[in-house]
Structures are given as structure tokens and as C-alpha cells.
Structure 1
Amino acid sequence: MLKYDSYDIVLQEIPDEVSLCLTITGCQLACEGCHSEHLWNPENGTELTHDIFRNLITKYKKTITCVLFMGGEWVDSELIALISMTKREKLKVGLYTGLNEKQMKRKHPILLENLDYLKTGKWIADLGGLNSISTNQVLKDLTTGRILNGYFLNNK
């Protein structure tokens, strides 16, 4: 079962997109220094049913251009169903995962094939996030192959 902790409309997570961002609970990576440890517990959150998801899409369809899932790959079959609903509405889809792209290709190839954007890389506090030149994290536009990290650096 896929559960979400919260959602919001965000402007900065995916460059040039207005995203409905859903924070999914049940993360299995347990990164050291994680600022959202409450997301590790799969019992936390509210079930993300098709009806709830459809209602969110309907409510924000005129505002958003993308749906961004912060996690959820561990329940890939349910996530794929939500991605299909999103694609039918002609919206783009992104996923933030702590896995790397090679792990995604090996563990979740069908999921990967249905995404427009993918942010990969386990949180490592010493390396920082996308706004750090030393980060291990990568935000990629899967439709073009372009790495989007530069959008997050002050010097672009």
C-alpha cells in the first residue's frame, strides 16, 4: 500500500515545472542525517488511493505541469498505476529516490521507463544536495538525458 505524508505545489524541485509534490512514507534507505525520519515508517501517512489521487489531479490540473513523487519506488506497481493516471492527463512525472540510476534500471525498469524526471542519490550530508558542487545526487531529464543540477547552483 502506498501512503503519503503530505503534498504541496512546488516551483523549485523540477526546473521549469509547477509540480504537485507528494511525500511518500515507507522509505527503506534510512539515510544518515535524514531530515524526515518520520517518512521511514510505512505505517505513517494516509493511503494514497486512486480516488484521492484523481481528486488532487482534478483540483490542481489547471495549475500544475508535473507530478513529483518523493519516494514510493518500493511499491512500484502502485506507483506505476498513479503514473499512468498522470500521463493520461498529459502531465509530466518525476521521482526522487535515494537509489542511483543503475539500481533503478535493475530494480524498477518499468517504473523508470515511465518517468520524465529522476533525482537519484542517497542523502550524504557531507556532500550536500543539488545546490552543492560536491553532491552525489543527480537530477536528470529522462526525455533528453540532460543533467539539471546546474539549475540549483548559484553560478548555473
Structure 2
Amino acid sequence: MAGQLRFTVEQVVWQEVPGEVSLAFTISGCPLRCKGCHSSAARNPSAGVPLTLEYLEARLNQYRGLISCVLFLGGEWQPEPLKKLLSLARAHNLKTCLYTGYEQVAPELMPHLTFLKTGPWIAELGGLDSAITNQRFIDLSTQENLNYKFHKPHRHQGVTHVAP
């Protein structure tokens, strides 16, 4: 339904936004169809349940003091309803994040976002934990690329190193 976002998965996550405990919603209806997408079950725009302002408000009240960020995995293809949800999260003094497979999002969303992950999934390049990924995770308040925060430490001859 145009004008309303739907979600297929809701969960509290710790790794998708570095340093934040995020209430995450996987939004249904993604038009990109990236090969190997981990959320391919959410491609159907009719899948899931409506993500209303009232529902989000209830969840934000339920998790008050326990979360620091609200993360939307998709939804940018409907900027108006997403903007309203982002505004509600910001009104609760929470950070916001959008994961998108696009390189850019509608300019009207940008003032409502704290973090933005851009770029389609390309299996050969890997995700944010890959040094050669095409994806970027940006702190919009500083414009800093935070991809390095996703790189896993590895051990070599008893010494811990962080991959570049």
C-alpha cells in the first residue's frame, strides 16, 4: 500500500550500528533485488505488517532507556512515511539509521538520519566487514566513514590485529 511501510522482522540488534543498541525493522517491498540478499523474503511489498506511527510509539515507550537508535533496513523507496517514522524516533531523542542498497537517498530524509549505510550487496565485494566492499557506513554528523568499525580483529602469531 503506497504511503505506508510494512515490516517483516523487528528485533533489537547490537552489531548493525556500532556503539548503539538499535530497534531494527526490516521493511518489505525492496525493489532492488540484489543477488544473494539476506532479506529477500521481504521483497514482496504486501509481506509483513503495517509499521504505523502508533505502533512505533508503543515500541519506543516499551524500550525507553534500553535502546539508543532506531534502524530501518529499507523503506527509502517511500520517503514520506519513512520521514515520519524517523521524526518520531528523533522526538524520543534516539539516533536513527537507514540501511539502503542505493548509493543515495531522497534529500528530505537526510536531516532525520544519524547514520546511513549505502550500496547494494555484491557478494564478491562482501559487506561492511570487508576491506573491499562497495558499501559505506557514514556518521552523518561528522561525515566519517565508519566501515573500519565492522572489521573483525584477527590473530597472527599471538598478536591481535585489526584488518584494514
TM-score, structure 1 as length reference: 0.94
- For structure 2, the 5+ residue unaligned runs are 153-161
CA distance in 1, matches of 2:46, 2:37: 18
Provide the residue aligned with 1:151 in structure 2.
149
Q: Cα deviations across residues 25-84 of structure 1 (Å, max 9, x unaligned)?
A: 000100011122111110101001111111111111210010000000011100111111
Which protein is bigger by CA-based radius of gyration?
A: 2
Identical counterparts, % of pairs: 45
Provide the residue aligned with 1:86 in structure 2.
89
CA distance in 2, matches of 1:22, 1:75: 15
- Candidates 55, 62, 67, aligned match of 2:70: 67
Check if 1:10 corresponds to 2:13.
Answer: yes
TM-score, structure 2 as length reference: 0.89
Q: Where does structure 1 differ by over 3 angstroms across 4 or more consecutive aligned residues? A: none
- Candidates 28, 47, 50, aligned match of 2:50: 47
CA distance in 2, matches of 1:34, 1:50: 28
Greater helix share, structure number? 1
- For structure 1, the 5+ residue unaligned runs are none
CA distance in 2, matches of 1:36, 1:22: 11
Provide the residue aligned with 1:22 in structure 2.
25
Quote how far apart the aligned CAs of 1:140 are.
0.4
- Candidates 101, 109, 124, aligned match of 1:111: 109
Cα RMSD over matched residues? Answer: 0.9
CA distance in 1, matches of 2:32, 2:63: 31
Quote how far apart the aligned CAs of 1:113 are.
2.1
Q: Cα deviations across residues 108-153 of structure 1 (Å, max 9, x unaligned)?
A: 0010221000000000001000111110000000001111100111
CA distance in 1, matches of 2:91, 2:111: 15
